[in-house]
A = this chain, B = another copy of it.
Amino acid sequence: MTDPTTTTPDRRPGGRTARVRAQVLDAVCAELAENGHEGLTMEGVATRAGVHRTTVYRRWRDVGGLLVDVIDAAGEIDWQPPDTGSLRGDLTALNQQIQESLVVQPSLAVALMAASFHSEQAARAQTRLWADRYAQCEILVERAVERGELPAQRTDARSLLIAATAPLYHQLVLLRADPDPHLPERAAETAVLAAAAGAFSVRRRREESM
A167: CB under 8 A from chain B? yes
- A186 on interface, CB distance cutoff 8 Å: yes
Q: Is the CB of B194 within 8 A of A182?
A: no
Instruction: Check A182/B197 contact, CB under 8 A, given A113-B174, A130-B175, A171-B162.
Output: no
Are A190 and B200 in contact (CB-based, < 8 A)?
yes
Instruction: Please tell me if the beta carbons of B167 and A182 are within 8 angstroms of each other in the complex.
Output: no
- How many monomers of this chain does the complex have? 2
B171 contacts A173, C-beta separation under 8 Å: no
User: Cβ of A22 < 8 Å from any Cβ of B?
Assistant: no
Given A190-B200, A209-B182, A113 and B117 contact (CB-CB distance below 8 Å)? yes
Query: Does A81 reach chain B (CB closer than 8 Å)?
Result: no
Q: Which residues of B contact A36 (CB under 8 A)?
A: 117-118
A183 nearest CB neighbor, chain B only: B159
Flag whether A187 is at the interface (Cβ < 8 A).
Answer: yes
A198 closest partner in B (C-beta): B193
Known: A117-B114, A159-B186, A194-B190. A165 touches B174 (CB 8 A): no
- Between A166, A191, A199, the greatest number of chain B beta carbons within 10 A of the residue's beta carbon is seen for A166
Question: Does A196 sit at the interface, judged by CB under 8 A?
Answer: yes
Residues B169 and A174 in contact, CB atoms below 8 Å apart: yes
- Contacts from A to B (Cβ < 8 Å): 36-38, 110, 113-114, 117-118, 123, 127, 130-131, 159, 162-163, 165-167, 169-171, 173-176, 182, 185-187, 189-191, 193-194, 196-200, 205, 208-209
Q: List 21 A-B contacts (CB under 8 A).
A: A36-B118, A110-B117, A114-B117, A114-B118, A130-B174, A159-B190, A162-B167, A162-B170, A162-B171, A162-B175, A166-B169, A170-B170, A182-B205, A185-B208, A186-B199, A186-B208, A190-B194, A193-B193, A193-B197, A194-B194, A194-B197
